[in-house]
Amino acid sequence: MLLTLFESHTHFFLSMFQKMILTKIISNTLSLHKKQLIEWLPAVRYFSSPTNPLVNVDVNDKSGIAVVTMNRKPVNGLSLELFEAMSKALDDLENNRIRGAILTSSCPTVFSAGLDLNELYQPDKKRFKAFWTTFQDVWLKLYGSSFPTAAAINGHAPAGGCFLAISCEYRVMCPDYKIGLNETRLGIIAPIFLRASMRNTVSNREAEKALTLGTLYSTEDALKIGLIDEIAIYKVKAIERCENFLAQFNNVSSIARSFTKRSLRQKDLEELENCREEDFNIFWSNLIEPSVQKQIGDYMQSLKKK
């Protein structure tokens, strides 16, 4: 951009030859100092985010790593308000050049129970549109973040809970919980961005099996298929392991790392960016089908009876 500006402003005053020489000098100087500039930029901008009761962000001043804790009791049901708080937190993290983020939960046995079923049952179109759009935003920001991400899965992570975890780059889970994308068991078709995150995590064959069967895996089975990367006995240990994973990037150029991540995920991100409205319309028209509504209503009742 600098070079374009320079070129456009010097257009009237310099000969073609002079412009070529000066352009070359600026370009060489920039690339020589790029590394120093980049290493200098992230140095000082860690922040203490204003507390949101639904999402707490705690940045370690020394490591620059943020622990992002979802806090919507009892099960971190993903409501419009929780998505809005996450979307805002992700913006803050991006703008403040943190070194990495760890997503976790304040609920003792649940990472997230997935989408709040109250958002899906007898929905109001205007609210559902805001809900769905914010859901898309959160995925675009989390999956496409410039900083590295990890999930400390300290409890059950069905459906949308699993989706948040697989949008991160690394997963450490505590034993004796369940994780998976059980949408088809609820009569729901997994949206494209959820399928993309799954394919990016496990093999294509495992993704197909997991999504079509709607399997919920135990922690141990999740490790076997690569849905998670490590098991840690407690939440504190899970966070520690995530920190170890993120610390490995201290020796890697942050610009090279984030460009590489972005280029690997670009196709998935563009796929959603290019069809956000269509994605909403497909889900909305399926969601309001009487048979889907009945299935969701019955499922909610079964959870309450339990």
Ligand X SMILES: CCCCC/C=C\C/C=C\C=C\CC(=O)SCCNC(=O)CCNC(=O)[C@H](O)C(C)(C)COP(=O)(O)OP(=O)(O)OC[C@H]1O[C@@H](n2cnc3c(N)ncnc32)[C@H](O)[C@@H]1OP(=O)(O)O
Name the site residues for ligand X (rule: CB under 6 A): 74-75, 77, 109-110, 113-118, 120, 156, 158-160, 182-183, 188-189, 191, 283, 286-287, 292, 303-304, 306
Report the residue number whose CB is nearest to ligand X. 114
Catalytic residue among 78, 183, 186, 227: 183
Residue 208 CB, shortest distance to ligand X, in Å, is 18
Residue 284 CB, shortest distance to ligand X, in Å, is 8
Catalytic residue among 64, 100, 160, 161: 160
Q: Is 160 designated active site? A: yes
Nearer to ligand X, 219 or 254 (CB): 219
Nearer to ligand X, 144 or 158 (CB): 158
Residue 124 CB, shortest distance to ligand X, in Å, is 14
Determine which helix (DSSP H) or strand (DSSP E) holds 164, and give its type and residue range.
helix 160-167
Residue 283 CB, shortest distance to ligand X, in Å, is 4
Q: Is 39 designated active site? A: no
- Phi and psi torsions of 156, nearest 5°: -60, 145
Residue 66 CB, shortest distance to ligand X, in Å, is 25
Determine which helix (DSSP H) or strand (DSSP E) holds 298, and give its type and residue range.
helix 290-305
Nearer to ligand X, 37 or 303 (CB): 303
Residue 28 CB, shortest distance to ligand X, in Å, is 51
Determine which helix (DSSP H) or strand (DSSP E) holds 28, and give its type and residue range.
helix 16-40
Instruction: Give CA separation, 42 vs 145, 148, 187, in Å.
Output: 15, 14, 45
Q: Is 182 designated active site? A: yes
Nearest CA to 89 out of 116, 60, 61, 49 is that of 49
d(CA 201, CA 141): 17
Q: Is 211 designated active site? A: no
Q: Could you tell me if 183 and 214 are in contact, meaning their C-beta atoms sit under 8 angstroms apart? A: yes
Nearer to ligand X, 98 or 179 (CB): 179
d(CA 9, CA 12): 7
Nearer to ligand X, 57 or 120 (CB): 120
Nearer to ligand X, 76 or 96 (CB): 76
d(CA 257, CA 212): 33
Instruction: Give CA separation, 253 vs 41, 99, 150, in Å.
Output: 12, 11, 19
Catalytic residue among 76, 140, 182, 246: 182
Nearest CA to 59 out of 50, 71, 67, 51 is that of 67
Which pair of structure tokens corresponds to residue 216? 């919920």
d(CA 164, CA 82): 13
Which pair of structure tokens corresponds to residue 132? 């769905």
Place of tokens 């949308």: 160
Catalytic residue among 78, 82, 90, 115: 115
Catalytic residue list: 115, 160, 182-183
